[in-house]
Amino acid sequence: MRQLILNRRRLLGLGAASASTLLLSGCDWYDGGLGMGDGLRSALERANALTYHAQRLLVGQQALATEYTDADILQGQRPNGTVDPQTPEYLAVKANNFAGYRLNITGLVNTPLSLSLAELKALPARTQITRHDCVEGWSCIAKWTGPQLGPLLDRAGVQPAARFCVYHCYDTMDDGSLDGPPPYYESSDLVDAFHPQTILAYGMNGGDLPIANGAPVRMRIERALGYKQAKYVHTIELVSDFTKFGGGRGGYWEDNGYDWYGGI
């Protein structure tokens, strides 16, 4: 099952990614023919790192993704990936309209936070109309509402050793693993975490965020491809590296060959 999904995503992703991302997430010869430790693969990954640093330098850390108007919203936001998690943990918080949900900020912070959905909705919110670009080759414009992540990280007090945010999710990926389906996770650096358009979205197109689109809370990291927009987020963990998570590459799809940065 996993191989079918991966192959389909790699094939369809060719039209949506940058040149370096194509090599990591768009080519079967790359993912199937080169081992994770292969010298050529390592060279291509170093090229991705160069692309990441070059884009940071040329675009700027605070440059905004394009925002649109209500007239540009031509359809509902297309859901993809998991659309209704069935893990016991998710079903428990889904009951009573997510009254039991908590968003936790943990790891390398001075003051860990745990906020209910009501508390998140009581915070100052940002609404933005942006385009979601998927590696499968489609895009969709939608309106997203939620608090900016940056002020919450400031409130928690990010420690100097922290370099990344890891976004832990309730949904799992049915990839045929003998150890059971692994949980979905994603990550970003602190530049993207503190970006003004990075929000914890609980609203979409003027209403509550639908379950199929990641309720109760999903990430919107607007300068990144769709697989970076983690759904069903319950914990944001500040870390210095990715060693202890999944395959150690910063995300479920990254563990399976995708580019970590995923910038657009």
Beta bridge partners of 65: none
Beta-sheet pairing, 233-239 with 102-107: parallel
The whole-number pLDDT of residue 56 equals: 62
What single-letter amino acid sits at 174?
Answer: D
Beta-sheet pairing, 164-172 with 126-133: unpaired
The whole-number pLDDT of residue 124 equals: 98
The whole-number pLDDT of residue 22 equals: 36
Plot region of 107 (φ>0 → left; ψ -120 to 50 → alpha; else → beta): left
50: burial class by Cβ within 10 Å (0-12, 13-18, 19+)?
exposed
The whole-number pLDDT of residue 47 equals: 56
The whole-number pLDDT of residue 176 equals: 64
The whole-number pLDDT of residue 263 equals: 87
pLDDT tens track, the chain, 264 positions: 344 334 434 433 333 344 333 333 333 333 333 444 555 445 545 556 666 666 666 555 678 999 999 999 999 999 989 999 999 999 999 999 999 999 999 999 999 999 999 999 999 999 999 999 999 899 999 999 999 999 999 999 999 999 999 999 999 997 666 678 999 999 999 999 999 999 999 999 999 999 999 999 999 999 999 999 999 999 999 999 999 999 999 999 999 989 898 888
Backbone angles phi, psi at 83, to 5 degrees: -120, -10
SS3 for 134-161 is CCCCCEEEEEEEECEHHHHHHHHCECCC
